[in-house]
Chains A and B, each alone.
Chain A
């Protein structure tokens, strides 16, 4: 029974990612490699961050400002990393295109590029869920559960799984938005991604207040859903644009 509970938490956090993985990614080896490397990059960023903060932890104070600094530095660091990732991806794309030319295969399609971005984003999202939620789930497979004082409405594992789901969504799709923004040189797309990340991060600070999660988590989901909608709209726009451009050629 408790095992099924644990599996339920895992699926709650990672179910959608699993679906994306099976339907889109698993059939293309290159996307799997992208996913793995982006997960690794995220893990390294986490290790670097925790190395920086190791000295100050655990925080003894009940003050909230150290947490604000922690969240802000982490987000800034990870957004910087996204730029690096984009640089690397750009190089990779050139190599892929060069290779495609040599092998007499078509160059990368727009959808291919988006899939690579999606795989990269999914890697970040999965890494987030794995380290922030799954790795703490071990006790939930046992006979007891755990509540935190500040949010005692549901077991800690359930809450963290729910929050993780929101973050997986945000990470996955904001990467698509970001890569597309960089590719198009679209300033607003480039800026909205760090903004989303920042808002989502600061919203979790609300959980520090006793009972704050009642407000914080729905707001977090608003952010996640709007990321999803924004990404969907943008992809739709790009696809229809290219379709219109391509149609005459295809005929």
Chain B
């Protein structure tokens, strides 16, 4: 019986899904902890691009809130759409260098400015004994390494570090967004899910154009995406097949070892015309576009720190889609194969808004947190399964957000009275 552990198919199936689910879970967990640790909801509401029009006040009537928050959401989406189109245009005309530097700048401000604010609030909350100089030096190092690892070219950065920083960026931005008032959050999430759907799937949608452009140029997607490395262990082949399997019969000839392909990546990179983007490790390039906005927001006033200021946060316009370089296509072109070696990619924006939803749920009760977490993860699972069916970039927000919001309200309205009623009587089943 002891032999089973190694070669049973159970240990190889579903590796990719877990590779995406675990960072998302970590991100949500940390955001929830952050929300809990800042027990008193922020004294003064933050001002961001997400609530330009209407400042929600608890005293307003429901219809006022609804109307105002819808307006806010619409304005925010329009902003995001504009920025995304701008990026697409820049990318179309090959302003890659500008885009990358812009992204670096943004990452620097997200990590240093918004991240610094969050660190400070944590330090204050737990009265950690840290002096200013140490803090500044540490923060600076953290930020610089982050910028390098996210956008590095020519520097060998371990993929793990990249992944860690991606999750950090997600956490920081999401923690910032949890400062939005309740109604605005909900309508913002719904609006983003719809926008994501349109932008990725509709013909002419900016994200669709971007993805197509990138793949026609054999280039990495110029956006901040979290990349799950395909597991490079003995089971590599089985693993990816396993993913296909989860999806319902995929013919086995598509199950090919990903490993030998990785060796070809080098050449592929050189084949790319834009010289600057050919990095030897294919992974470094996929940087960036998205964050840019995040950045702009925050930086826009270096105001990362001063809450009252107007911070335009449009973060992630782009990255919302689960962009997926699906690995299983057995096409012959080199480029394809390069894609095959990539794992599943998930836009940073998805991380952020999943976490915003869970963070918002955390302000109500733990019960809603668990329900939303499960709903989002199962939505993500559905998206991944659809992905392996359709083999094209899919929006990751709509299903998850819809399920998440549905479960939040179901839990809040239906389940809570039931559970509290039974369990305070010590009745369980």
Q: Which residues of A contact B (CB under 8 A)?
A: 27-33, 36-37, 39-40, 43, 46-47, 49-51, 53-54, 57-59, 67, 70-71, 74-75, 78, 95-96, 98-100, 102-103, 105-106, 108-109, 111-112, 115-116, 128, 130-138, 148, 150-151, 156, 159-160, 163-164, 167, 197, 200-201, 204-205, 207-208, 213, 239, 243
Interface pair A58/B417, CB less than 8 Å apart: yes
Distance in angstroms between the alpha carbons of A173 and B420 in the assembled complex: 26
Contact A30 B426 (CB under 8 A): no
The 5 closest A-B CB pairs, nearest first, are: A50-B418, A135-B367, A207-B426, A29-B14, A102-B252
**A47-B411, A59-B421 in contact; A39/B374 too (CB < 8 A)?**
yes
Query: Which A residues lie within 8 Å of B395 (CB)?
Result: none
Q: A96-B9, A106-B7 are in contact. List 13 more A-B contacts (CB 8 A).
A: A29-B12, A30-B11, A33-B381, A46-B415, A103-B238, A132-B422, A135-B366, A136-B367, A137-B366, A138-B366, A148-B426, A156-B424, A207-B426
Tally of chain B residues near chain A (CB < 8 A): 53
Distance to closest chain B CB from A101 (angstroms): 9
Known contacts A71-B427, A103-B255, A205-B427; decide if A47 and B415 are in contact (CB<8 Å): yes
| A159, B426: Cβ atoms closer than 8 Å | yes
Within 8 Å CB of A164, what residues of B? 428
A201 to B423, CA, bound (A): 12
- Name the B residues within 8 Å of A99 (CB-CB): 9, 13, 241-242, 245
Residue of B nearest to A197 (CB): B429
Per-position 1/0 for B357-385, Cβ under 8 A of A: 00000000111001100110110010000
A57 cross-chain contacts in B, Cβ below 8 A: 417-418, 421
Q: How far apart are the CA atoms of A97 and B419 in the complex, in Å?
A: 40
Question: Which residue on chain A has the smallest CB distance to residue B367?
Answer: A135
Q: Contacts of B423 on A, CB cut-off 8 Å?
A: 132-133, 136, 160
Residues of B within 8 A of A105 (CB): 7-9, 12, 238
CB < 8 Å: which of A75, A108, A115, A136 contacts B429?
A75
Q: How far is the CA of A156 from the CA of B10 in the complex (A)?
A: 40
* Residue of B12, B423, B427 contacting most chain A CB atoms (<10 Å): B427
Question: Least Cβ distance of A30 to chain B in Å?
Answer: 4
Assess A31 versus B10: contact at CB under 8 Å? Given A59-B421, A103-B241.
Answer: yes
**Chain A CB within 8 A of B261 CB:** no
Nearest CB of A to B37, in Å: 11
Q: Convert B392-429 into 0s and 1s, putting 1 for each residue whose CB lies closer than 8 angstroms to a CB of A.
A: 00000000000000010011011101111111111111
B7, B419, B426: which has the most chain A beta carbons within 10 Å?
A: B426
Q: In the complex, what distance in Å separates the CA atom of A108 from the CA atom of B7?
A: 10
Residues from chain A with a CB closer than 8 A to the CB of B421 are 57-59
Closest A residue, CB atoms, query B378: A40
Output the least CB separation between A98 and chain B (Å): 8
A163 in contact with B428 given A50-B418, A109-B4, A135-B419 (CB within 8 Å): yes
Q: Out of B14, B375, B426, which one reaches A160, CB within 8 Å?
A: B426
Residues of A within 8 A of B381 (CB): 33, 36-37
Please report the C-alpha to C-alpha distance between residue A200 and residue B427 in the assembled complex, in whole angstroms: 10
Interface centre among A27, A50, A58 (most CB of B within 10 A): A50
Chain B 1-41 interface residues, beta-carbon cutoff 8 Å to A: 1, 4, 7-15, 17-18, 21
How far is B238's CA from A186's CA once the two chains are assembled, in angstroms?
34
A217-B425 Cα distance, complex, nearest whole Å: 13
CB closest chain-A residue, reference B239: A29
Q: Which of B249, B365, B378 contacts A37 (CB 8 A)?
A: B378
Q: Which residue of A lies closest to B418 (CB)?
A: A50
CA distance A87 to B42 in the complex (A): 49
**B8 / chain A contacts, CB cutoff of 8 Å:** 105-106, 108-109, 112
Q: Is B9 within 8 A of A70, CB to CB?
A: no
| Cα A249 to Cα B246 with chains together (Å) | 32
Q: Which residues of B have CB within 8 Å of A43?
A: 370-371, 374, 407
CB distance from A83 to the nearest CB of B (A): 17
Cα distance A49–B418 in the bound complex, in angstroms = 9
Contact A67:B238 (CB < 8 A) given known A43-B374, A131-B370, A136-B420: no
Whether the Cβ atoms of B427 and A207 lie closer than 8 Å is yes
A204 x B410 contact (CB < 8 A): no
A29 with B252: CB separation less than 8 A = no
Min CB distance B257 to A, Å, is 12
Residues of B within 8 A of A49 (CB): 418
28 A-B pairs within 8 Å (CB atoms) are namely: A32-B21, A33-B14, A33-B246, A46-B418, A47-B407, A53-B418, A58-B417, A59-B421, A67-B425, A71-B427, A95-B249, A98-B249, A99-B9, A99-B245, A102-B252, A108-B8, A128-B428, A130-B370, A134-B366, A134-B370, A136-B423, A148-B425, A150-B426, A156-B426, A160-B423, A201-B429, A204-B426, A204-B428
Q: Which residues of B contact A37 (CB under 8 A)?
A: 378, 381
CA distance A197 to B7 in the complex (A): 36
Residue from A33, A138, A200 in contact with B365 in the complex, judged by beta carbons closer than 8 Å:
A138
Q: Which of chain B's residues 105-134 have a Cβ closer than 8 Å to chain A?
A: none
B374 touches A40 (CB 8 A): yes
In the assembled complex, which residues on chain B have CB atoms less than 8 Å from the CB atom of A78?
Answer: 429
Interface flags, B145-165, vs A, CB<8A=1, else 0: 000000000000000000000
- Smallest distance from the beta carbon of B331 to chain A beta carbons, Å? 21
Bound form: Cα–Cα A75–B7 in Å: 38
Which of A49, A99, A115 has most chain B Cβ within 10 Å?
A99
A24 to chain B, nearest CB (A): 10
Chain B residues near A128 (CB-CB < 8 A): 428
**Complex Cα spacing A67 to B9, Å:** 45
Shortest CB-to-CB span from A172 to chain B, Å, is 15
B126 to chain A, nearest CB (A): 11
Q: Shortest distance in angstroms between B343's beta carbon and chain A's nearest beta carbon?
A: 13
A27 CA to B418 CA, complexed, in Å: 36
- Contact in complex: B367, A33 (CB < 8 Å): no
User: Chain A residues with Cβ under 8 A from B10's Cβ?
Assistant: 28, 30-31, 108, 112, 115-116
In the complex, what distance in Å separates the CA atom of A73 from the CA atom of B429?
Answer: 10
